[in-house]
Structure 1
Amino acid sequence: MSQRYRSVFAPGLFAGRCYVVTGGGSGIGRCTAHELAALGATVIITGRKLDKLERVAAEIRDDGGAATVMAFDIRDEDAVKQAVATMLEQHGAIHGLVNNAGGQFPSPAQAISKKGFEAVLGANLTGGFLMARELYLRRFMKHGGAIVNMIADMWGGMPAMAHSGAARAGMMNLTQTLAVEWSASGTRVNAVAPGFVASSGLDAYDPSFSSVVLPQMAAAIPLGRLSSEAEISAAIVFLLSDAASFVTGATLCIDGGASLNTKLFPLSGKPANAAFSGFHREKPPAALDVLKKKT
């Protein structure tokens, strides 16, 4: 492609650095991997499906960036240990981690099985802990680094997502704890809490979600729209950068004001500003067609 990622950050910002992005085969992870690579970083993209990872890596290379892939399950402790050891053997140094991998399924709490609950906790909390711990023990403890964890808009509960809400709340507390415990090494640990994002993940839900829930989402956001993947990636990039060198233990909400909405103040329901869409390879989810028809 002739286009390149249109980042707001300075070209070459991460030249000579290497970052790991888990769940980099799609959605926010894919977008973040592209932006980091466009800014000069070598990106290690991880996930469970090798074909998805290779497609994203090929995109990055076609755009002139550097990317490698590694397929494994972050919930498997032995696999994480082996993967991190291999990453360091191949790349020599790793400067940061984006703990983006995760996933969940909508369900009333009473219908969630123990297996389902633990699977979501593993993907959104335990796996992120294992990745952070291994990179800390093998690299960051001596050389410092930056970690950005992914949580969500789970303030005040997360109805229909009890497993995910519990995992995300745990990840926020883990972020704060690690920020203190690992501070002496120069390791910074922060989190981002996206609200509703126009990402490929929307298409993974039942069609009824798109027709019923999605319009309600947009109407509850003070800025009147969903965010783009690039708006989440930009926040992650900032927290990884030297500009955030005195920021640790923080959770940055990227939700258009949704977490502040008491539902009592009347909202117009119309977009108050335009989305920043710097990602030249963005693929809007099909679920957004519902919103277009409603507006």
Structure 2
Amino acid sequence: MQKPYNSIFNPKAFQNQVIIITGGGSGIGRCTAHELTSLGAQVIITGRTQEKLDKVVAEITEDGGKAYAITCDNRDESQVKAMIAEVIEKFGRLDGLVNNAGGQFPAHLEKISANGFDAVIKNNLHATFYLMREAYNQWMEQHGGSIVNMTADMWGGMPNMGHSGAARAGVDNLTKTAAVEWGKSGVRVNAVAPGWILSSGMDTYTGDMAEKVIPSMAQHVPLQRMGTESEVSSAIVYLLSEASKFISGVTIRIDGGASLGTRIFPLSTAKNNEAYNGFHRSFLPNVVQGLKENKDE
């Protein structure tokens, strides 16, 4: 058996709670699923690939946690409705929803087709809305709950990712609107905005993005490093927890300060800055493996 997830939270913080994590078959979603199950939650992970979901369920089961997988294309409103209904029927409740799933591709604005733009908006914004609405209508309106959405560092624009930036900004505003409208039902809605995180998603990029951009990211962060999946997961877990019961409508930036400052302020070499990595099954993306090897030499 693997060593347990090294969460900073009470091991019984989510005892008997039922939480859905979309995009739970890899990356931040996988890490968050591991952390929540280590804290007593029954986690339902969703995604479009059954094999990936089954692998994570097997990992969690081996570690002594409780997980269940449902394939669902979040861009399809009818599939989202059916998935939420299945969770409520099978587990009898829905305490939390983590809208982690999403995706995009690098492209300059002038080269993005209408279909490409629409696909990214639907994947990141429409799907988030479908999931939030169904969680609220089918359960949380009557029982309360917590929703955590995934957005990104988009405050300064997202060059080469304009479609994603538009969608993520929409999620930020949707989060605020839902927090106001659904507060009457005891539903808290927040979001996290990760910056550059050492996650498996980095391995989906090729060309200049993989060869030049990703290797240079850390030098543009005041903390002079990239973040870990655990550092995002812990923020999500906090927002789902009892400790944040009076927090709603906020978006927490998890970016090491990269979204702050100006280009005329030089960043110095950082110190006293060890990363937190509580995830016992984490691994570095292939695209940065060489960087670590060179640093260690």
Q: How high is the TM-score relative to the length of structure 1?
A: 0.98
Query: Which residue of 2 is the match for residue 215 of structure 1?
Result: 215
**CA offset at residue 156 of structure 1?**
1.6
Query: Which residue of 2 is the match for residue 4 of structure 1?
Result: 4
Aligned partners of 1:2 and 1:138: how far apart in 2?
37
* AA partner of residue 118 (structure 2): E
Query: Which residue of 2 is the match for residue 276 of structure 1?
Result: 276
Could you report, residue by residue, the CA deviation over 1:213-234 in whole angstroms, capped at 9, with x for unpaired residues? Answer: 0233111100000000000000
Within 5 Å, which residues of 2 pair with 1:102-121? 102-121=102-121
Query: Which residue of 1 is the match for residue 179 of structure 2?
Result: 179
Query: Which residue of 2 is the match for residue 14 of structure 1?
Result: 14
Query: Which residue of 2 is the match for residue 63 of structure 1?
Result: 63
**CA offset at residue 208 of structure 1?**
2.6
Compared CA separation, residues 272 and 157, structure 1 to 2 (3 A): farther
**CA offset at residue 290 of structure 1?**
4.2
| SS at structure 2 position matched to 1:64 | coil
Aligned partners of 2:110 and 2:272: how far apart in 1?
38
Aligned partners of 1:270 and 1:13: how far apart in 2?
34
**CA offset at residue 136 of structure 1?**
0.2
Could you report, residue by residue, the CA deviation over 1:228-283 in whole angstroms, capped at 9, with x for unpaired residues? Answer: 00000000000000100000000000000001131222112556501101000002
Task: Assess if the C-alpha contact under 8 Å between 1:196 and 1:226 holds in 2.
Answer: yes
Aligned partners of 2:294 and 2:268: how far apart in 1?
14
Aligned partners of 1:177 and 1:72: how far apart in 2?
26
Query: Which residue of 2 is the match for residue 25 of structure 1?
Result: 25
Query: Which residue of 2 is the match for residue 195 of structure 1?
Result: 195
| SS at structure 2 position matched to 1:67 | strand
267-276 vs 46-55, greater mean Cα deviation: 267-276
Q: Is 1:39 matched up with 2:31?
A: no
| SS at structure 1 position matched to 2:46 | strand
Query: Which residue of 2 is the match for residue 81 of structure 1?
Result: 81
**CA offset at residue 187 of structure 1?**
0.1
Task: Assess if the C-alpha contact under 8 Å between 1:46 and 1:53 holds in 2.
Answer: yes
Compared CA separation, residues 44 and 235, structure 1 to 2 (3 A): same
Within 5 Å, which residues of 2 pair with 1:125-164? 125-164=125-164
| SS at structure 2 position matched to 1:203 | helix
Aligned partners of 1:240 and 1:170: how far apart in 2?
21
104-113 vs 258-267, greater mean Cα deviation: 258-267
- Tell me which stretches of 4 or more aligned residues in structure 1 moved more than 6 Å: none
55-64 vs 205-214, greater mean Cα deviation: 205-214
* Structure 2 unmatched runs, 5+: none
Task: Assess if the C-alpha contact under 8 Å between 2:2 and 2:280 holds in 1.
Answer: no
How many residues matched?
295
Aligned partners of 2:46 and 2:251: how far apart in 1?
23
Q: How high is the TM-score relative to the length of structure 2?
A: 0.97
Aligned partners of 1:214 and 1:23: how far apart in 2?
22
The share of aligned pairs that are identical, in percent, is 54
Task: Assess if the C-alpha contact under 8 Å between 1:179 and 1:190 holds in 2.
Answer: yes
| SS at structure 1 position matched to 2:286 | coil
* AA partner of residue 101 (structure 1): A
Task: Assess if the C-alpha contact under 8 Å between 1:23 and 1:29 holds in 2.
Answer: yes
Task: Assess if the C-alpha contact under 8 Å between 1:14 and 1:36 holds in 2.
Answer: yes
Aligned partners of 1:263 and 1:272: how far apart in 2?
23
Q: Is 1:289 matched up with 2:289?
A: yes
**CA offset at residue 176 of structure 1?**
0.1
Task: Assess if the C-alpha contact under 8 Å between 2:179 and 2:188 holds in 1.
Answer: yes
**CA offset at residue 18 of structure 1?**
0.5
Cα RMSD of the aligned pairs, angstroms, is: 1.2
Aligned partners of 1:239 and 1:31: how far apart in 2?
16
285-294 vs 146-155, greater mean Cα deviation: 285-294
